[in-house]
Amino acid sequence: MSRPVIGYEQLAAAVRQFAIDGELVDIQPLQRGHIHDTFVSTWSTGSEQRRYLHQRMNDKVFQDIPAVMHNIETVSRHLWRKMDGKRTLDGFQVLDLVSTREDRGYLVSDSGQWRTYSFIENTSSRDQCSRPEQAFEAARAFGWFTSQLADLDAGHLRETLPKFFSTPHRLQQFEDALAEDPRNRAKGCIGEIRFAQTRRDMAFVIDRMITSGEIPVRTVHGDTKLNNVLFCNDTGRALCIVDLDTCMPGYSLYDFGDLVRFTAATSAEDEQDQSKVGTDLTLYRQLVNGYLEGTRGALSDAEIDLMPFAARLVTYTIGLRFLADHLAGDVYFKVHRPGHNLDRARVQFRMVEKMEQQADEMVVTAR
Ligand code: GN1
Ligand code: MG
C-alpha cells in the first residue's frame, strides 16, 4: 500500500509538535516495517544531541488509531509501573512515548497521525542472526515481555485489528480475495492457492483449543520479528522490545510461531530463490530455549507441546495474508516490486513444507 510522500517542511512541522527540547538539526527516513512511515530526528541542546523516532501511522490499516495508542499506552504504563523509577526491568528497557506539546499521546495533523519515541541509543536491530545466541536472546526478550503482561487484565486492551491472530479469519480473507480475484492474478499462482487450500484443516486447531479452554488467551506482542528487538551494542544482549502495535489478547504461541517464521528462516522473508528457503534447526532450538527461559515456567505443558505446530501454523497464516494481499491487488502490505507479496507468500509456504519434513526434529522435550 503506497502512501503520499512527505516533504521535509511538512515532516519538520509534524515533529516540532512534540514536546522535545532544543533545535531540530536533521530528519532522516528509516526503512522499517511494512505498515507505517518511520523517521529519525536529531535535536541539539547546546553541546548535546538527542534523537527521536517518529512514525506516521497507517490509518488505512489501523482504522482506530485512538485504540492503538490506548493499547500502547496501557502496556507501556504497566511496564513502567513495574520499573518503579529505575531505568531497566530485569535488564530490559521499555519504550518511552513522547507527548505532544499539548500533552497528547499522539498528534493528529494535516500530514497524518504521528507518534514519537525517544530513540534508544547504542542499540541495533537486525533482520538475521549473525550468532545463534541472538536467537536465544530475542526469544528470551519476547518471552519476558509476555510474562510481564500476564498480570495485565487483557480486558483493558482493545482488539484494534479484529481477529488479527485468527487463522480461520485469514483463510476466509484469502478465500474472499480468490473468489473476487480483482486483478486476475489467480491464474499466476495456482500452486500457492493449492498449497493454501490443502492445509486448511490446520487453521482451526488453535481456535478449537481456545474455545475448549485447553489453551489460555494471553496478551501477546503479535509481531515478534527479530528486527523488533533492539540489541545492546556493548553487551550483545536483547535490551528492548519495540513495535507494540499489535499488543492484544491472543495466544502466546502466536508470538513463538512468528519468532520461528522470521528468525529461524534461512532466507529473507521475500527471497526469490526458493532453494535458499528453510528453517535452521540450530536457531529453532535457541528460540525454544530462549522462549522457555523468558516465560519462566508460565507456559502450560499443552502450550509447550504445541510449539512446533505453532511455528508451522503462524508461518502458514502469514503466507495466507501475503497471498490474499497479492490476489487483492497489494492493498495492505507495502510492496517494492511487482509480485512482491507473492514472493513473500511463496517463502512462507516453502518454510511450512520444510517444517513438515522436520517435524520429528522440532519436538520440544525440555520443560
Ligand atoms: C507487518 O510492518 P511490520 O513489519 O511491523 C504486519 C505483521 C506481519 C508482518 C510480516 C499490523 O508488520 O502482522 O507479521 O508485517 N503488521 C500488521 O512481515 O499487519
Ligand atoms: Mg509491526
CA 306, CA 156: separation in Å to the nearest integer? Answer: 27
Is residue 315 scored above 80 in pLDDT? yes
Ligand 1 atom closest to residue 61's alpha carbon, by position in its atom list? 11
CA 147, CA 299: separation in Å to the nearest integer? Answer: 9
Angle at 234 between CA 44 and CA 123, to 5 degrees: 50
Ligand 1 atom closest to residue 334's alpha carbon, by position in its atom list? 2
Enumerate domains of the chain plus CATH numbers.
8-121 (3.30.200.20), 132-362 (3.90.1200.10)
Q: What is the pLDDT of residue 2?
A: 53
Q: What is the pLDDT of residue 32?
A: 79
Span 222-281, pLDDT tens digits: 999 999 999 999 999 999 999 999 999 998 899 999 999 999 999 999 999 999 999 999
Q: What is the pLDDT of residue 3?
A: 62
Q: What is the pLDDT of residue 121?
A: 96
Residue 53 in contact with ligand 1 by CB distance below 6 A: no
Q: Of 286, 235, 18, 247, nearest to 133 (Cα)?
A: 286
DSSP bridge pairs for 295 = none
Q: Of 22, 12, 18, 20, nearest to 45 (Cα)?
A: 22
| Angle, helices 252-263/132-148, rounded to nearest 10 degrees | 160
Residue 253, CA distances (Å) to 112, 300, 309 in order: 34, 11, 9
Which residue among 225, 242, 261, 323 has the greatest number of ligand 1 atoms within 8 angstroms of its CB, and so is best to mutate?
225
CA of 223 to the centre of ligand 2 (A): 5
Ligand 1 atom closest to residue 322's alpha carbon, by position in its atom list? 10
Span 18-49, pLDDT tens digits: 999 999 999 999 987 889 999 999 999 988 99
CA of 310 to the centre of ligand 1 (A): 17
Residue 246 in contact with ligand 1 by CB distance below 6 A: yes
Residue 245 in contact with ligand 1 by CB distance below 6 A: yes
Residue 34 in contact with ligand 1 by CB distance below 6 A: yes
Q: What is the pLDDT of residue 4?
A: 63
Q: What is the pLDDT of residue 226?
A: 96
Ligand 1 atom closest to residue 228's alpha carbon, by position in its atom list? 5
Q: What is the pLDDT of residue 33?
A: 81
pTM of the predicted structure, to 2 decimals = 0.93
Residue nearest to atom 15 of ligand 1 (CA): 34
Span 162-212, pLDDT tens digits: 999 999 999 999 999 999 999 999 999 999 999 999 999 999 999 999 999
Residues whose CB falls within 8 Å of the CB of residue 8, separated by 6 or more in sequence, listed in order: 27
**Grid coordinates given for 170:** 485469514
Which of the two residues, 367 and 306, has the higher pLDDT score?
306
